[in-house]
Amino acid sequence: MQDFVPQDENFERRVKESFSKQKMMHTIGAVLSKVQPGRVEISLAFRDDLTQQHGFLHAGVVGTLADTACGYAAFSLMAPDAAVLTVEYKINLLSPAVGESLLAVGMAIKPGRTLTVCSADVFASREGENKLIATMMATMMSIRGREGFTG
Amino acid sequence: MQDFVPQDENFERRVKESFSKQKMMHTIGAVLSKVQPGRVEISLAFRDDLTQQHGFLHAGVVGTLADTACGYAAFSLMAPDAAVLTVEYKINLLSPAVGESLLAVGMAIKPGRTLTVCSADVFASREGENKLIATMMATMMSIRGREGFTG
Amino acid sequence: MQDFVPQDENFERRVKESFSKQKMMHTIGAVLSKVQPGRVEISLAFRDDLTQQHGFLHAGVVGTLADTACGYAAFSLMAPDAAVLTVEYKINLLSPAVGESLLAVGMAIKPGRTLTVCSADVFASREGENKLIATMMATMMSIRGREGFTG
Amino acid sequence: MQDFVPQDENFERRVKESFSKQKMMHTIGAVLSKVQPGRVEISLAFRDDLTQQHGFLHAGVVGTLADTACGYAAFSLMAPDAAVLTVEYKINLLSPAVGESLLAVGMAIKPGRTLTVCSADVFASREGENKLIATMMATMMSIRGREGFTG
């Protein structure tokens, strides 16, 4: 992990406020568990209503957590007046998402003025063991001065 | 769209049964609206509890719909005893997901014995207009003869 | 294919001039065979010195053609003073790249002020038949007013 | 980096033999500089005939190196009679590929019986400094018992 210096000393508060406005996170029970400059963790307890046909957590849920962790890892390094949007993400699902909980760790790889490239690893915790179950590469965009886009 | 001949004449029933077991689809209110050989449509009415911080539908929801549409487009062409798993997907988000509803159209591009490559387009419907808001490319895998994997 | 109106009526000349500066294209024998607004074709005759270990054209060559076709499809719609850079691309290889020649068709999907999302299909021609062997999704960036970046 | 145990004790020789058959590597002057279980390095000296229109090494060259490094990282862990094919790769280009040389480091993330997920980082060396200029995520496939596919 690289050492990043945030542009905004209140980055943690900004990330938390924005995350709390994501109703989707509340709906699926995702929790923002750690915020550092360029690094964000999001966790989720297994819930039966988020599964696919084999009883695993849905690939879309795994993608949602990883995308959000990437977005806030990027956002934590952006200017105080910037908003963040996902340009694209790519995820490889390595193992079925089974276990008691998931942890998505998003990290900035290359922050830029307009675009920030991020990666995320998603781990499943099962009977005390953590297993890497998915890995993402994503491009995030900083939006400034556009109406309706804050946070 | 290519013309595909399904291996299993009961492909539509199999897709519907499997989709109905995806509790995540029920949780977010997604509906399987069309099933053809190698082509599947899934729709979703806008819901405030699925939004991100700017009030758009969350990128993860868009990804979930597109992934599921790709998965069943692939599954519709698989052998009767096969299960489907997502290997990877990549999504580009073209415009904010706003409007009354979303429609994800998944299509098989290249079905294979083990892997099927698919694409999906996601459209947002707003005041009578349909707009392409995201496009996905995904790799799906056929799983046969492994315990716990049916449908 | 969508109908795009180029910002620059001299788009074709600009694309050709930029392509001719790509020494890599000359090195691998790639030819710019068609330029339309938001759509570019690049062809390549099979050459033994571009193969991988099984005698197929190397996946990197296929990627190079598709990336370049996407880049110029985007560039054809950009402002006269813009340069184009690849942000990212993703390619699925559907079949081995065998045959007498390859044709990469790049298309703009969503042109934007800063980013343009493109797709490309790559076809192999073999004994009179054309086969889709690869498909790409790419994000291109318009660079303006930065020294050293023209075309 | 994880510790992987190769299935074939002669993995290094197998990788080297296969690499030497890739005429494309010879054409662009790429050199296999290191082979470990699940980890492969490929280097390339800057050459003017591999550039794009701004004088940087072409994104396709960067992709070719990274793809090949991923392929052999996967191959080093495969069974003695397996061949390797690229299913898909995704690359984010972080900075222009300028400098005296490039180094692509491919690593297996999750080796599997059929599919192996890999990542690659590409560094540019310029006046004694190494800079991460691109990062890839790729899916490789093990092919066994199919005619014409060895190594």
In tens, the pLDDT along B99-148 reads 999 999 999 999 999 999 999 999 999 999 999 999 999 999 999 977 66
* Interface residues of chain D, partner chain C, Cβ below 8 Å: 18-19, 21-24, 26-27, 48-54, 58-61, 63-65, 67-68, 71, 83, 85-93, 96, 148-151
pTM, two decimal places? 0.96
The rounded percent of chain B whose pLDDT value lies above 70 is 96
Choose, out of B85, B87, B140, B141, the residue to mutate when testing the contact with D (most D CBs < 10 Å).
B87
C59: buried, middle or exposed (CB in 10 Å: 19+, 13-18, 0-12)? buried
Cα–Cα distance list, D34 to D12, D18, D70, D107 (Å) = 9, 14, 13, 12
How many beta carbons lie within 10 A of that of residue B38, not counting itself?
Answer: 24
Return the HEC string of chain A.
CCCCCCCCCCHHHHHHHHHHCCHHHHHHCEEEEEEECCEEEEEEECCHHHECCCCCECHHHHHHHHHHHHHHHHHCCCCCCEEEEEEEEEEEECCCCCCCEEEEEEEEEEECCCEEEEEEEEEEEECCEEEEEEEEEEEEEEEECCCCCCC
What does the alpha-carbon distance between residue A142 and residue A117 come to, in Å, rounded to a whole number?
Answer: 11
User: What was the pLDDT predicted at B148?
Assistant: 64
How many beta carbons lie within 10 A of that of residue B48, not counting itself?
Answer: 10
Question: Helix crossing, A59-75 with A11-20: angle to 10°?
Answer: 150
Residue A37, both tokens: 């400059």
The answer, yes or no, to whether residue C1 has pLDDT greater than 70, is no
Average pLDDT over residues A11-17: 98
Closest by CA position to A98, among listed A125, A71, A135 = A125
What does the alpha-carbon distance between residue C49 and residue A95 come to, in Å, rounded to a whole number?
Answer: 38
Closest by CA position to C96, among listed C55, C46, C142 = C55
Q: Which residue has the tokens 């960067």?
A: D62
Average pLDDT over residues A70-76: 98
> How distant is the Cα of A68 from the closest Cα of chain C, in angstroms?
20
D132 in Cβ contact with D122 (< 8 Å): yes
Q: Which residues pair with C42 in a beta bridge?
A: C32, C104
Nearest to B137 among C92, C95, C132 (CB): C92
User: What was the pLDDT predicted at D146?
Assistant: 74
The answer, yes or no, to whether residue A89 has pLDDT greater than 70, is yes
Residue A39, both tokens: 């690094």
Residues of D in contact with C52 (CB under 8 A): 21-24
Domains present along chain B, CATH in parentheses:
11-144 (3.10.129.10)
Show the beta-strand stretches assigned E in chain B.
Answer: 30-36, 39-45, 82-93, 101-111, 115-126, 129-144
For residue D76, what are the contacts with CB-CB under 8 A and spacing of at least 6?
A: D6, D11, D12, D14, D15, D35, D36, D37, D38, D39, D40, D108
Q: How many residues does chain B have?
A: 151
What does the alpha-carbon distance between residue C18 and residue C29 come to, in Å, rounded to a whole number?
Answer: 16
Nearest to C94 among B94, B117, B132 (CB): B117
Show the beta-strand stretches assigned E in chain C.
Answer: 30-36, 39-45, 82-93, 101-110, 115-126, 129-144
Nearest to D109 among A90, A117, A135 (CB): A135
User: What was the pLDDT predicted at C77?
Assistant: 98
The answer, yes or no, to whether residue C36 has pLDDT greater than 70, is yes
Higher pLDDT, D46 or C3: D46
User: What was the pLDDT predicted at D82?
Assistant: 96
User: What was the pLDDT predicted at C146?
Assistant: 74
Distance from CA of residue A10 to its chain's centroid? 19
User: What was the pLDDT predicted at D147?
Assistant: 67
Cα–Cα distance list, A3 to A6, A108, D136 (Å) = 10, 10, 22
User: What was the pLDDT predicted at B145?
Assistant: 77
User: Chain D residue with minimal CA distance to A116?
Assistant: D94
Give the residue ranges of chain D where pLDDT is below 70: 1, 147-151
Region label for C141, one of left (φ > 0), alpha (ψ between -120 and 50) or beta (otherwise) = beta
Task: Give B57-113 pLDDT, tens digit per residue.
Answer: 999 999 999 999 999 999 999 999 999 999 999 999 999 999 999 999 999 999 999
Q: Tell me how many residue pairs between chain B and chain D have CB atoms under 8 A apart.
A: 18
User: Chain B residue with minimal CA distance to A141?
Assistant: B93
The rounded percent of chain C whose pLDDT value lies above 70 is 96
Task: Give C77-101 pLDDT, tens digit per residue.
Answer: 999 999 999 999 999 999 999 999 9
Contact assignment for B87 to D141 by CB distance below 8 Å: no
Region label for D27, one of left (φ > 0), alpha (ψ between -120 and 50) or beta (otherwise) = alpha
User: Chain D residue with minimal CA distance to A2?
Assistant: D132
B79 in Cβ contact with B116 (< 8 Å): no
Task: Using CB atoms, list chains with 3+ pairs below 8 Å to chain C.
Answer: A, B, D
User: What was the pLDDT predicted at B150?
Assistant: 66
Q: Which residue has the tokens 């570019």?
A: C40
Nearest to D23 among C49, C149, C151 (CB): C49
The rounded percent of chain A whose pLDDT value lies above 70 is 96
Nearest to C22 among D18, D24, D53 (CB): D53
Nearest to D50 among C24, C59, C92 (CB): C24
Contact assignment for A60 to B59 by CB distance below 8 Å: no
The answer, yes or no, to whether residue C148 has pLDDT greater than 70, is no
Contact assignment for C49 to D85 by CB distance below 8 Å: no
Q: What pairing do the DSSP bridges indicate for beta strands C82-93 and C129-144? A: antiparallel
B42 in Cβ contact with B30 (< 8 Å): yes
ipTM field: 0.94
Contact assignment for C63 to D63 by CB distance below 8 Å: yes
Nearest to D64 among C18, C64, C89 (CB): C64
Q: Which residues pair with D139 in a beta bridge?
A: D88, D117
- Mean pLDDT (chain B) is 95
User: What was the pLDDT predicted at A109?
Assistant: 98
> How distant is the Cα of C116 from the closest Cα of chain A, in angstroms?
10
Return the HEC string of chain D.
CCCCCCCCCCHHHHHHHHHHCCHHHHHHCEEEEEEECCEEEEEEECCHHHECCCCCECHHHHHHHHHHHHHHHHHCCCCCCEEEEEEEEEEEECCCCCCCEEEEEEEEEECCCCEEEEEEEEEEEECCEEEEEEEEEEEEEEEECCCCCCC
φ and ψ of D6, to 5 deg: -70, 145
For residue B149, what are the contacts with CB-CB under 8 A and spacing of at least 6?
A: A54, B83, B85, B143
Cα–Cα distance list, B122 to A18, A50, B46, B63, B136 (Å) = 25, 21, 13, 9, 8
Q: Which residues pair with D133 in a beta bridge?
A: none
Q: Tell me how many residue pairs between chain A and chain D have CB atoms under 8 A apart.
A: 34
Q: Which residues pair with B82 in a beta bridge?
A: B144
Residue C59, both tokens: 């996946």
Contact assignment for B137 to C90 by CB distance below 8 Å: yes
Contact assignment for D139 to A110 by CB distance below 8 Å: no
The answer, yes or no, to whether residue C105 has pLDDT greater than 80, is yes
Sign of CA dihedral C98, C136, B142, B1: negative
What does the alpha-carbon distance between residue C87 and residue D92 come to, in Å, rounded to a whole number?
Answer: 6
The answer, yes or no, to whether residue A146 has pLDDT greater than 80, is no
Residues of D in contact with C18 (CB under 8 A): 53
For residue B47, what are the contacts with CB-CB under 8 A and spacing of at least 6?
A: B28, B29
What does the alpha-carbon distance between residue D125 and residue D103 come to, in Å, rounded to a whole number?
Answer: 8
Contact assignment for B61 to A60 by CB distance below 8 Å: yes
User: Chain D residue with minimal CA distance to B110?
Assistant: D87
The rounded percent of chain C whose pLDDT value lies above 90 is 92
What does the alpha-carbon distance between residue C96 and residue D81 come to, in Å, rounded to a whole number?
Answer: 19
